[in-house]
Structure 1
Amino acid sequence: MEFEAIGAYAKPILTLAVLVYLVYIFVIKKEEFKKAQVVAISAIMTALVTVATIVIQVPTPPTRGYINLGDTMVMLSGVLFGPLVGAFAGGFGSALADAITGYAHWAPFTLIIKGLEGLVVGHIAYKREDFTGILIGTIIGGFIMVFGYFLVEVFFYGYPSAVVEIPGNTLQAVSGIIVGGGVGYIIKKRYPDIVSLIQT
């Protein structure tokens, strides 16, 4: 299968992701989450991830992808609101940006990679107020993103093309660590109650 042909499956996969997320909140964990807050915050952070991903796009011809600033909001989502929101906003928001800007063939992979990034950052950094804890969480999340795209690029385009992409993806990760982690840390210090918005 040609890599670009995968784009045809992007919309049903993204729709399924949303349905799974809603079922998880409203059915499986209906007693544990303040549902309205979770859905509202997830929607807001997803929109921010999508906009941050779209606003600056630098095409990378070797793998037919692009460099962007979406990781800033992916990491911020995880730092402020935990793994649930981090995973959904990171995965769905980033994949949605792929789907609507001509990179739909990347959307299914982005959904998984950026979702894992937000999940891990949220799991490690969400309940941490110290700078070190947030820094560690965002660094690990950034590594997951860079390595995840590297594996997909090796599979579809070969090792040389995948290596060319590492600096750009690393730049994305660093921007996420600095902006997402840094802003998240500042907000937590000044407005510590923000964490309680979706606590169980």
Structure 2
Amino acid sequence: MDAKIKKVAFLGLFMALLIVATTVFRFPVPNFNLYFNLGEGIIYLVALMFGGPAGAVVGGVGSGLADVLGGYPVWAPITLLIKGTEGFIVGILSKKVKPYLAVMSGATFMILGYATAAGLLYGTGAVPVELAGDFVQVSVGGIIALLLHNRLEKHIIGR
């Protein structure tokens, strides 16, 4: 199979998996229009395996679609920007530093971006809730991605 076709097919599958991980495995936070989900690991996997542009597209578009489909449309443009940039950061840095440092850098951007957005949308009371939820979300996603990255990359990309 042509390498470009294979890449596009895998990116489509990962985007679908991201939407499922975000909408099905979602845990709403009471009193705020916020939720914790398991999509972060997919963003990190894509970024680590396919690089920054793929991480940006899958992370931003896939997560933004998940917000729309999951009933959180107000977050979709915010998510497109934050998750897209997060995926781009991880993918670009993964070529220069250890994967866990790339993931930590993207995670830091995501946490700060969503804390800022939550504060602007819902007031300062939402910021600690957002920070705590996002810290757990990026930690779980990072662990999943770092554990699976080498194994999946070997089979999917052949490295």
Name the CA distance, whole Å, in 2 between partners of 1:120 and 1:185. Answer: 19
Aligned partner of 2:8 in structure 1 is: 39
Of residues 73, 92, 110, the one that matches 2:42 is 73
Name the CA distance, whole Å, in 2 between partners of 1:70 and 1:44. Answer: 13
Structure 1 segment 115-194 matched on structure 2, within 5 A: 115-125=84-94, 127=95, 133-188=98-153, 191=154, 194=157
Aligned partner of 2:62 in structure 1 is: 93
Aligned partner of 1:48 in structure 2 is: 17
Please state whether the residue corresponding to 1:67 is helix, strand or coil.
strand
Q: Which has the higher helix share?
A: 1
Unaligned runs of 5+ in 2: none
Q: Deviations over 1:73-120 (max 9, x none)?
A: 010110111111111111111111111111111111111111111111
Q: 1:141 deviation in Å?
A: 1.0
Please give the TM-score of this superposition, normalised by the length of structure 2: 0.89
Name the CA distance, whole Å, in 2 between partners of 1:167 and 1:195. Answer: 37
Q: 1:182 deviation in Å?
A: 2.1
Change beyond 3 A, Cα 1:91–1:141: same
Which structure has the bigger radius of gyration? 1
Matched-pair contact (CA < 8 Å) for 2:34–2:130: no
Please state whether the residue corresponding to 2:98 is helix, strand or coil.
helix
Aligned partner of 2:28 in structure 1 is: 59
Matched-pair contact (CA < 8 Å) for 2:46–2:54: yes
Matched-pair contact (CA < 8 Å) for 1:134–1:185: no
Give the % identical residues.
Answer: 35
Change beyond 3 A, Cα 1:193–1:59: closer
Name the CA distance, whole Å, in 1 between partners of 2:38 and 2:138. Answer: 9
Change beyond 3 A, Cα 1:59–1:151: same
Please give the TM-score of this superposition, normalised by the length of structure 1: 0.72
